[in-house]
Amino acid sequence: MLTSIQDKTVIVTGGSKGIGKGIASVFARQGANVMIAARGETAAKETVDEINAAGGTAKYYLCDVADWEQVQALVEHTENTFGPVDILCANAGTFPQKKIVDLSPKEWDDIMSTNLKSTFLCVKACIPHFEKLGKGRVVITSSITGPITGYPGWAHYGATKAGQLGFMKTAAMELARYNTTINAVMPGNIVTEGLASLGEDYLNSMAAAIPLKRLGAVEDIANAALFFASDEAAYITGQQMVIDGGQTLPECAEAVDEI
C-alpha cells in the first residue's frame, strides 16, 4: 500500500467510466477520498456506489470540464466535502473519429475544449489548494496518439493529447514553487466504454499489433497514475510514461509476427 495516498483528497475528472473509473477505484482502495467529475449522472452514481460498497470513499459532482465556472464549482465543492485538493487526475476526454476532410471547425474547437482547455482549467482551479497545502500532485491522461503515433480520423484528438504534454512542461516549472508535481500517463489501447464503441474489428486488429498481445486494462493506467501521485514520486515532474504493452515499439507490422 502506498501510505501517502491515505486520506488524500483526489479529483478524478471523467471518473465515472473507463480509465477514470479505474483511477478512482484504485485510489479509493488506497484510502483516498475521491471526487468523481463527469456530466452524466447514471454512470457517476453507479461508479460511486460500487466504490463505496467495496469499502472506499467516493462522491460525484456533475460538471463539464470545458466550462470554467463549473470547474471552479467542482473544486469548491470538493474542498467543502473532503478538504483541500491534494491530487488532481485530469483524465476526462473524448475521442470521436473523423477525418480532417469531414471535420468541421466547430468539432475541432469542441475537442480542444473538452480535452485540452479542460486540463488548463482544472490545474488552474487547484493551484490555490496546492499553495495552501504546500504540496500537490497532478496526473494528466494523455495518449500515445498525437505525441507518438497517428491514426486517420484522430488529427484533432492527437493535437489535444500532444498539447497536454506541451502544457505540462511549463506547468511543471510554474507549479514547482508550490512543491507540486505534474506528470502524464500515455495509454495505448485500453479496454473502456469509449474504446469499445470503436467496434470489434478495431479492438481485434489493435490487440494483434501489440507485442504483449492484449489491450490494456484500466488498472494498468491507474497504477501508473497512483505512482505519480504518491509521495514516493516527489522528485519526478514534467515527465510522461507510455503504458501500451509495447505497441509503439515495432519498426514495422511484420516485426510483431516475429515475436
Would you name the residues annotated as active-site residues? 157
**Whole-number Cα distances in Å, 199 to 144, 194, 196, 206:** 20, 10, 6, 11
The least distance separating ligand NAP from the CB of residue 17, rounded to whole angstroms, comes to 4
- Beta strands (DSSP E) in 180-257 are 180-187, 240-243
The least distance separating ligand NAP from the CB of residue 8, rounded to whole angstroms, comes to 21
Cell 488548463 sits on residue: 120
- Interface residues toward ligand NAP, by CB under 6 A: 13-14, 16-20, 37-40, 43, 63-66, 91-95, 114, 141, 143, 187, 189-190, 192-195
- Paired residues of 121 in beta bridges: none
| Cβ nearer to ligand NAP, comparing 173 with 208 | 208
| Cβ nearer to ligand NAP, comparing 32 with 38 | 38
In sequence order, which residues have a C-beta less than 8 Å from that of residue 163 and are 6 or more positions away?
Answer: 112, 115, 116, 146
The least distance separating ligand NAP from the CB of residue 215, rounded to whole angstroms, comes to 7
- The one-letter code for the residue type at 163 is G
| Cβ nearer to ligand NAP, comparing 56 with 93 | 93
Report DSSP state, residue 210. S
